[in-house]
Amino acid sequence: MGEEEDEDIRKELKELSAKIDRLEETLTKISAPYSDLVGYLAKFQNISQSYFKLLDLYDKHGSLSPEIIIPGLKDPISKDIIVILFNKKEQNISQITEELKKRRGTASRRIVREKLKALEEQDVVVCKEGTKTKKYSISPEVVEKWSQLLYLPK
């Protein structure tokens, strides 16, 4: 083989290499929408799983209530307090008592305080000391259990 033939082969290899690079680039561009579609399908699958999980829980328990994730929660006042805190995030004793009065027709700050203390001891509720009042909310562990139960993304 002569120098001229070696040069021709090098030139052909460079051209072939450039064609392969363009082909890879084109394939990447073409496949991008499909990878997006796969991501959307995965999200849809997660949402549909959550939906069917909710339906199943509702069918088994008749509602989506706190005792599903807090099995030892038998007291109706404590259940209502948990539902209030799930719906309203942070609340002080007065706010919880007022909401409880709306739900039950009657409520006592003393009883609410006792129930909150018991729920706090069970690590269901956490208390955040403010400058003037204590604010209560659902513990992060309970929120995490609820999210896992419903297959909710973090």
Res 55: pLDDT? 79
Evaluate if residue 75 carries a pLDDT over 80. Answer: yes
Please write the tens of the pLDDT for every residue from 20-57: 999 999 988 888 888 888 888 988 888 788 778 777 87
Q: Does 66-149 carry CATH code 1.10.10.10?
A: yes
What pLDDT score was predicted for residue 85?
A: 92
Q: Give the separation between CA 16 and CA 83, rounded to whole angstroms.
A: 67
Angle made by CA atoms 114, 115, 119, in degrees to the nearest 5: 120
CB of 82 closer than 8 Å to CB of 75: no
| Six token digits for residue 15 | 């051209």
99-106: average pLDDT: 91
Residue ranges per structural domain of the chain? 1-62, 66-149
pTM: predicted TM-score of the whole model, two decimal places: 0.61
Residues written for the chain: 154
Q: What pLDDT score does 15 carry? A: 93
Residues sharing a CB contact under 8 Å with residue 19, sequence separation 6 or more, in sequence order: none
CA distance 127 to 121: 11
Of 32-36, 41-45, 80-84, 89-93, minimum mean pLDDT range: 32-36
- What does the pLDDT read at residue 37? 87
Task: Give 3-13 pLDDT, tens digit per residue.
Answer: 888 888 999 99
More confident residue, 65 or 134: 134
State residue 152's pLDDT score.
Answer: 59
Q: Is the Cα torsion angle 106, 110, 111, 115 positive or negative in sign?
A: positive
